[in-house]
Structures are given as C-alpha cells and as structure tokens.
Structure 1
Amino acid sequence: MDMIHEAAHVARHEAARAALAAQSGSEYLTFRLGAEEYGIDILKVQEIRSYEVPTRIANAPQFVKGVVNLRGVIVPIVDLRLKLGCDTAEYNSFTVVIVLNVKGRVVGAVVDSVSDVLELSAESIKPAPEMASAVDTSFITGISSVNDRMLIMMDIESLMASPDMGLMDESH
C-alpha cells in the first residue's frame, strides 16, 4: 500500500512542478505599432495574415476598418494604430492582421509588423509606470526589457472587449 501512496505523491509532485513550469514562462507575440513594440499572449492569436482591404461598415468608429470573410466567418478588422493614437497608419507590404480569438469572437487587429514570439517569465515583466499618455494605459499590463528592446505588454482581450470598441455583445 505504501508504494501506491508513494507513487501518487510523486505523480502529484511532478504535476505541480509541470504546472509551475508552465506558469513561469509564457509565450508572447510581439509586434510594432509606430516606434513602440508590444507583446500579447500567444494563446489569443489564431493566425497572422497579410493585410487585405476590408469591406467598410457604415457608422463604424474610425478605427474599425470594416470586415473580411475568413473562411466563412465575418471578422471585424480593427486598426490598432488608429485605436491607440499612433500618428500615422500607413499600409505597406509589412502591414499585417493578427487574427485573435477573444471571448469566443474572432477579431482582426492591424499592426505595422509582427516581430517574433518570445517566452517571458512573469518576473521579467515589470509593472507599467503611471503616466499621462495618449494610449489608454488600463490595457497595459507591464513592461518587459528583452535584449535592449522595451516591450509594452498588452491585455489584448480587455482592449478588444472594451465597450468603446463595440465588438463584443454586452452579455459576454
């Protein structure tokens, strides 16, 4: 009987260690908006696509560029550069759409370019300083420094689900 208890104890210990390891390093997709580089949870990213001109929707906010048909799913396209107050939003060969899955909805986010995927530990992300800026800092979860690069960590789910975006049903 003791061997069974011992095996169960070891299994629990291994599971706890695996859970801790999974927690300690999370993967983030990094992308550029103007001069800044941002990081978002890779688990929210469904795919990355080249930019295609969406179908405009009447009375949509300026930052909602329209919708595209993505394999039968109508996906709203948000230009994060306009939403976050970047000076210019130029469309060129580097412009991409990050297709996100946010609270069960598929949403596209236009960014200047995608940089890479990084694994960051929770300790490497520092709290964002309080500052008066054009960007709504309530969606910024922290700042991380990676090889001389400053990454602004963003809670993309909260940003996309915020009421002023008008993308999510209030009941969610």
Structure 2
Amino acid sequence: MVTKADQLLLAALVAALTSAVVTLAVEWLAKPTLEARKERILAKHRARANVKRCLGRTREMVYILLGPWPHTKAMQATPLHVRTLYRKRIAATLGEISVCADDLLAAVVDALPHLSLREREILLPFAGYLRAVADTAEPDENFSLLAEKIDLLTQWYERPRWQRRKSLTINPHPASRTRPAD
C-alpha cells in the first residue's frame, strides 16, 4: 500500500525529473539557436554603428573645411604666411577626408547584408563622390555644398529606418561644386 509520504516523494521526484528534462532540452536545443540569433543581431548593429561612426567622422572633417575662403577680401588682408598655413591645413584635411571616404566605403560594404536597397543606393555612390571631392578639390574651394550633403545624409541615416523619407536625393556630381562669390 502506498502511503501519503510515498505519494509526496513520488510527486517531488516526477517534478524534479521533469524540471531536469526541460532544462536540458532548452540548453541543448533552443539555446544554440538563440545564441546564433543574438550574434547575428549584434553583428548587424555593429555594422550599422560603424557606418554611422564613419559618417560622423566625415562630417567633422568637412566642417573643418568650412571657414574663411582664401580669395575673399578678409582672407586676402591676412599675411601671406597665414594664408599658406591655411591652405596646407585644408590640404591635410582633404587627405583625411579621403581616408574617411575609404573607411566609409569599407563600412558600407561590410554592412551591405544589413542595409536596405535604398540605403545601398545612397551610401555607396556618396562614398565614391566623397572620395572624388577629396581627391580633386582645391584648398580655396567652397565646401558648403559638401557640408550640406553630409548633413542631409547623416540626419537621414540617424533616423529610425521606419521614419526615413524616401525622397532624400543627394546629387553626387562633382560639377555641382561651386566657388563662393567675392
């Protein structure tokens, strides 16, 4: 005859066995899938964050280019050695922008599996445009158009994906660069 104590012991044993089976099943079957999914999600976020970081760095470099233009009256009144140093600094910054453009292109290529078609259509040509501007620009150019473009692109990319306007257009033609009026 089974006593009440034996029934409680049997119920505790069944509960412990069920708990162990469920725990091991989750550990062996579900956890590897969840871990792999977690790594994919983290890789996606890292890749997108890297693109965002490269855009931010490029934006900083472009803002360094904005300043007094060497052919304006105010800049022409400055001593020649100051203008020469200014041109050298602008040339060095253009070199850094060229490196930023390469970094941006590498980050976009790395993030391609995680980017939408629209993001690819905008970011890849912009990286090429940025490199072309950095390689062909002169220190006395007006970089305000480039600053506008990088601002638009950075603001667009920083928005959540579902809030981005589809109407963003960035004209990547180097012929659109202009010099400031005297």
TM-score normalised to the size of structure 2?
A: 0.29
* Structure that is richer in helix per residue: 2
Q: Which has the larger radius of gyration?
A: 2
TM-score normalised to the size of structure 1?
A: 0.30
* Structure that is richer in strand per residue: 1
